[in-house]
Structure 1
Amino acid sequence: MKNILVTGAGGYIGCILVPKLLAKGYNVKAVDRFFFGMDKLTSHPNLTIIHEDCRKLKEEHFVDVDAVIDLVAISNDPSGEEFKKITYEVNHQSRVNTAILAKKMGAARYILPSSCSIYGFQDKDAIADENTKTNPLTVYAKANEQAELGVLPLADDDFSVVVMRQATVYGYSPRMRFDLAINGMTYGAWENGVIPLMRDGTQWRPMVHVEDTTDVMCLLLEAEANIINGEIFNVGSSRNNYQLGSLAEEIAAALPCEVKIEWYGDPDHRSYRVDFTKIEKMLGWQAKFTAADGALQIYQALENGTLEKTEQTITLNWYKKLIEWQTIIKQVDMYGGILEMKKNVTQEKVASL
């Protein structure tokens, strides 16, 4: 494995993964629309930026690619519900097409970062392993499940396919997200000493630090094909299975400030605990971080000014803002510009009069 193509490379996870791959000596093709800016990835001799929509990838993009990590996604439940059709296009159809193109062009490995959210709601005492019947409740979760079903049958002796069902991710990233549970709780605690928590706090969620899940992606590039091919791995740890009320209490105890919990919304019926025995036994991997570690990391970055909450850090809000700006720009764009006019366009207009 030498040349790696990463979709969604400019996103929350991609901005942690790509530098790790480069540090390990890989050549990386970073594919993204870069909705959140092209400044999140530092230039590198072995980094090739491909500014393209994942739905428009062609065979030429996969020339000399040895492996694909298909991170691209409309990446949370609120965005999925707002943009249902697009979520199926991106999270399901484009990823299956990417896997097909990668196989056709001779890539040896395809890694699909999916989500534990496809377990949806499970019985109170159930702990979901990779064989548990899935129960996706949202568009985001359903699209992930369809992607899994689409790529796994492509596996054969020459093309290894592996699925990562990631727990809910947390921790610092250059493309920061405060619409993730632990990250959002930490910001509330830092900003005004309040952790906002959706009722009723008994719902279970598995969590995984962004550094841990990207370590797994690197591990899956290095693992023997006969061990991982066609496999699904839950990615997280038993220590990071949290009831949200207890999670908020752990975060509050970890931070050097007074914190109270403030409840909001109707009871959240999504609840699932996840078993992570398979990845620990088969690959010998153990998560390094806890929620307290991630919360303190984010708190310190906020304190020292290296991190701030902006419109970009709430995914759905940023998508809506981009669409709003597009509408405004279309209305005022004339002769190839806003205040300035491109000379060649103006001359063509004058010549036509």
Structure 2
Amino acid sequence: MFKRNPWRYKASDFRLQQSIFVEEIEEINREDIYMRIFVTGGAGYIGSILVRELLQKGYEVTVLDLMLFGDKGLEDIIGEKRLKIIEADVRTYSPDLMIGHDVVIDLAAISQPDPLNKIDENIFYEINYLAATRTAKLATKKGAKRYIFTSTCSVYGFQDNVVNETSSPNPLENYAKTKYMAEQEMQKINGLCKTILRLATVYGYSPKMRFDLVVNAMTLTLYKYGKIRVGRPGTQKRPVVHVKDVVNAIIGVLEAPHDIVCNEIFNVGSNEQNYRVLDIAYEIFRALNKEPNIEFYGELDTRSYVVDFSKIKRVLGFTCRYTVADGAREICKALHEGILSYEPWTRVIDWWYELISKGLIKSIGAKVDLI
């Protein structure tokens, strides 16, 4: 498991530190700070890039993360004076930790389907639904002006027609179902500027890497074994988006006028990156100057979905800057330079299985306080 670093607050520390922390917040000279942002799951795949960008733009950031996947995503920015990191469970953290924050960005989730159904569905329910609902309600109660929630295009399920934000969701497994449940609950909350972002499948290099996402997994396999494995038949379509584009979309919402983002849902991605899975593989071969070598696997699965990303472009002027080729090249470069390597925690669902088997994460039932 991971060794805890001394720079982090643990949740238990706040029995002693909480009053000191709140006093510090109250003493801050607001004129010296542009905005204070509370990020759940901020040490994760998306969060570790988002936090850096927020700091670079002058924001003050509080990260709340249980660090079940370690702290690698943030280890090189430890000591930044505008960064506070709190080690706590998103289901049970003290409400007072949110005092003084202007914006809440809610990334915390079990962010991958569970194909083997090994994870207690109550854990999905508690983290992806109850905890997200709790965080949104706390944002309202503790005075935050905005709340940004990352959901998933998987809420649409597999559909024959191109789907957009007005399409009827059809979530098919616990990950998508609990994300959609949280979306529905948030839309009932009044007095808060809420924005829901439905992300395409994310790819690209991150300090807290994931190799269980299609582009990243294909790139790793090609780098290590000289081939790419593709699920049959390869013609099934999926939307993908670079992690840096996701971060740019989040910041775009953060900095947009209230009236164009409040109580809105945006799909995050680009129409050009609705790919056949087989074409993703060919993009990677071309990017890395490799001869195509494809190994098909699995049962025939022709289920597809194609997403329309026009709304975010029309409303916010958002366009994706990065391509699958960019993602493949940066991952391969990081692997070659030893910056990046395959680790057990880079496959999210497998690591969750490990944590659960060791009793390090479990259902807490009625202990999730919905405020």
Selected match of 1:30 from 63, 71, 78: 63
Deviation at 1:323, TM superposition (A): 4.0
1:136 to 168, 171, 175: 171
Aligned residues: 323
Q: Note the alpha carbon deviations across 1:287-344, whole angstroms, 9 max, x for none.
A: 00111111111111111211111111111222233345558xxxxxxxxxxxxxxxxx
Residue by residue over 1:174-223, the C-alpha shift from the partner in whole angstroms, topping out at 9 and shown as x without a partner, is 11110000000001111111111111111111101000001111111111
In the alignment, is the contact (CA less than 8 A) between 1:170 and 1:207 conserved in 2? yes
State the 1:259 CA deviation. Answer: 3.7
Residue 118 (structure 2) pairs with residue 82 (structure 1): yes
State whether residues 11 and 175 of structure 1, in contact with CA within 8 Å, keep that contact through their aligned partners in structure 2. yes
> What percentage of residue pairs aligned between the two structures are identical?
44
Q: With the length of structure 1 as denominator, give the TM-score of the two structures.
A: 0.88
CA distance in 2, matches of 1:216, 1:80: 32
Code of the aligned partner of 2:139: A
User: Aligned partners of 1:57 and 1:250: how far apart in 2?
Assistant: 43
- Which of 261, 264, 268 is matched with 1:235 structurally? 268
Task: Give the CA deviation at 1:149.
Answer: 0.3
Q: Once the two structures are superposed, what CA deviation does each residue of 1:97-116 show, in whole Å capped at 9, x if it has no partner?
A: 10001101110100010000
Q: 1:268 aligned to 2:305?
A: no
CA distance in 2, matches of 1:312, 1:248: 24
2:109 matched residue in structure 1: 73
Alignment partner of 1:153: what SS?
coil
Q: Is the 8 A contact 1:155 1:230 kept in 2?
A: no
Give the secondary-structure state (helix, strand or coil) at the position aligned to 2:114: helix
Give the Cα–Cα distance (whole angstroms) in 2 for the partners of residues 226 and 78 of structure 1.
Answer: 37
Greater gyration radius: 1
Query: Are 1:147 and 2:159 an aligned pair?
Result: no
1:28-49 Cα offsets, whole Å, 9 max, x none, are: 1100011121232121101111
Map of 1:252 onto structure 2:
285
CA distance in 2, matches of 1:267, 1:60: 51
Residue-by-residue CA offset, 1:105-154 (whole Å, 9 max, x unaligned): 1101000100000111111xx11110011111111010110010011221
Do the aligned residues in 1 keep the contact of 2:73 with 2:206 (CA within 8 Å)? Answer: no
Does the 8 Å contact 1:155/1:161 carry over to 2? no
Structure 1 residues not aligned, in runs of 5+: 328-353
Of 221, 224, 240, which residue of structure 2 is paired with 1:188? Answer: 221
Aligned residue identity for 1:50: I
Distance in 2 (alpha carbons) for counterparts of 1:73 and 1:32: 10
- 1:60-209 pair list within 5 angstroms: 60-78=96-114, 81-83=117-119, 84-123=121-160, 126-156=161-191, 159-209=192-242
- Go from structure 1 to structure 2 and tell me whether the alpha carbon gap of 1:267 and 1:89 turns closer, same or farther (over 3 Å shift): farther
Q: Which runs of 5+ in 2 are unaligned?
A: 1-33, 361-371
Q: Which residue is 1:311 aligned to?
A: 344
CA distance in 2, matches of 1:85, 1:203: 31
TM-score (norm 2): 0.84
